[in-house]
Amino acid sequence: MQTLSVPAAIKNTYPEAQIHWITRKDMAPLLKGHPAINQVWDFDRKEGVLGLIKLTRALRGEKFTHIYDAHNNARSRIIVSILRPWGFLGVGPQFIRRSIRRWKRFLLFRLRINTFEMPFSGQRDLLEPLLPWGVSKFPPPAPQIFPSEESRQKAREVLKDYAGTIALAPSAAYFLKRWPKEYWKELILLCPEHKFVLLGGPEDSFIEDIRAVAPERVLNLAGRCSLQVSSSVVAESSVLISNDTGLLHVAEQLGKKTIALMGPAPFGFPSRPSTKIMEIQLPCRPCSKHGQGPCVNKEKFHQCLVDITPTQVAAELKTLLGRQP
């Protein structure tokens, strides 16, 4: 999601550029409405390496002049090696690969020495490698996600009487990135004048327990919507309150008012003024690149999120709702 600032940033510098984007098949619908992307190439992971090679051979016919490898993973390296087979000799399209900065990560997580630019910013870190091409490292203004009218209509249908209410994203890939379940319940009870919509995946069965605290004004859509429709639900909501997870970055790219509950991981930090970051400054933070743990706080387990109270979040929500767009 955070990479969606890259196409517009490139277009701002090179208005005539033709930008092609390679992404996973499940993510492609989120990109196809982007006005700065000329063509989306989607890859089905089920097809494996052979499918990736077949796709990349088709890409060779486009005769690209510049290639940016924003992810620097095994799949992107295969793509680059086929598109730039003589790259090791400096022959072929101009090329930039985003550094994973392993040495900086070692210093941060092992020795507690932070040499990263502060504050952390996921979007800035994806744009900064393009500075040699004259592209700004500051994210272009939102929106950078453009939900289709079809997905917006589906969102309105599932929301019914909940359009314009508050969306909550209580899940995250790792437990340590999740604000406690009981806190979500308490937040709902602290805001009796509001309706809430819960978002998550089909595996997030715990979200139904949150809905049960006030079923007359809480709608559970976890597992009921595709990523595209969930993104449109966020677009139709007034505010999103979210853990450090994908929907947080969807809201950011939509320019939606957002409260981000940031815990152990540093690289998903929001970048836009529409987002209020809530965090607890601790010497043990950040403790892992993705929040996979273990918690290293010997005094209080999960303190980075446990010490953000529902009362504090409710107060920030009230402030955010009263702020002009």
**pLDDT reported for residue 157:** 95
**pLDDT reported for residue 324:** 59
**pLDDT reported for residue 325:** 54
pLDDT one-digit tens code per residue, 139-165: 999 999 999 999 999 999 999 999 899
Q: Are 304 and 264 in contact (CB under 8 A)?
A: yes
- For residue 218, pLDDT over 70 is answered with yes
Beta strands in the chain (DSSP E): 20-24, 39-43, 66-69, 94-97, 166-169, 196-198, 218-220, 239-243, 258-261, 275-278
Handedness of CA 158, 162, 167, 173 (dihedral sign): negative
- For residues 36-56, give the mean pLDDT: 94
- For residues 11-30, give the mean pLDDT: 94
Give strand pairing partners of 158.
none
Comparing 240 with 26, which gets the higher pLDDT?
A: 240
CA distance linking residue 107 with residue 197, whole number of Å: 40
pLDDT one-digit tens code per residue, 263-316: 999 998 999 999 999 999 999 999 999 999 899 999 999 999 999 999 999 999
What is the pTM (predicted TM-score) of this model? 0.93
- Whether the bond into 29 is cis, omega within 30 of 0: no
CA distance linking residue 8 with residue 19, whole number of Å: 10
Vertex 160, ends 158 and 165: CA angle to 5°?
100
pLDDT one-digit tens code per residue, 81-125: 999 999 988 899 999 999 999 999 999 999 999 999 999 999 999
Q: Are 28 and 149 in contact (CB under 8 A)?
A: no
DSSP reduced 3-state for 32:
coil
Q: At a CB cut-off of 8 Å and minimum separation 6, what does 284 contact?
A: 296, 297, 304
